[in-house]
Amino acid sequence: MSDASAIQGLVAYTDGGCRGNPGVGGWAFVLVHRATGSTLERRGGEAETTNNRMEITAALELLRSLKRPGQRLEIRSDSRYLIDLATKWAAGWKRRGWTRKGKEPLKNLDLIKPLDALLDTHHVTWTWVAGHSGEPGNDYVDQLANEAMDCLQSGADPALERRLEASPIPL
């Protein structure tokens, strides 16, 4: 992606986590239009899930939020599993009929297949960021995912959507 298209495109942070694995899980994303700063953030969760499922769900929900195909998007994540799934492993799994080498069934296929289909409709660049390291965007979505888990544990609805005129994180 050229510098000019990066400036005009979108940047997003995603995160997912669990308390116990499996356990109560939360996911979140924040999506920022680079040129205007307008922002969409969402979070949600599940009562019994895994960390990997929440990481995939965050990216899947992010891509579902895009209204037009062909968007230029940088996704920043602290999940090597998610990034490797999207950039390295999915193509091989697809060629083998969505199985691992040795024909082992894939975990999380109900999330992986729709994620892969949506990735095919956009121009996505992935960037790994260190988790829990003071990186503002990653810390922000980590907080949102934890808020979703807090809601679930207290019996409240973990779902939240906010639209902001300016980004809450520096890009």
Residue tagged active-site, from 9, 15, 25, 44: 15
In angstroms, the Cα distances linking 30 to 24, 77, 88, 106, 128 are 21, 11, 24, 28, 15
Residue tagged active-site, from 41, 46, 61, 78: 78
In which element (H, E) is residue 164 found? strand 160-164
Residue tagged active-site, from 9, 16, 45, 137: 16
Contact present, 35 and 8 (Cβ < 8 Å)? yes
* Measured distance CA(110)–CA(117) in Å, rounded: 12
Contact present, 108 and 52 (Cβ < 8 Å)? yes
* Measured distance CA(47)–CA(12) in Å, rounded: 25
Would residue 132 show up in a list of annotated catalytic residues for this protein? yes
Would residue 55 show up in a list of annotated catalytic residues for this protein? yes
Would residue 16 show up in a list of annotated catalytic residues for this protein? yes
State the CB neighbour count (10 A cutoff) for residue 86: 21
Residue tagged active-site, from 46, 61, 74, 142: 142
Q: What are phi and psi of 132, to 5 degrees?
A: 55, 40
CA geometry: angle 67, 60, 127, nearest 5 deg = 100
Would residue 3 show up in a list of annotated catalytic residues for this protein? no
Residue tagged active-site, from 132, 134, 155, 165: 132
Residue tagged active-site, from 41, 46, 55, 74: 55
Would residue 45 show up in a list of annotated catalytic residues for this protein? no
Known catalytic residues are 15-16, 55, 78, 132, 142
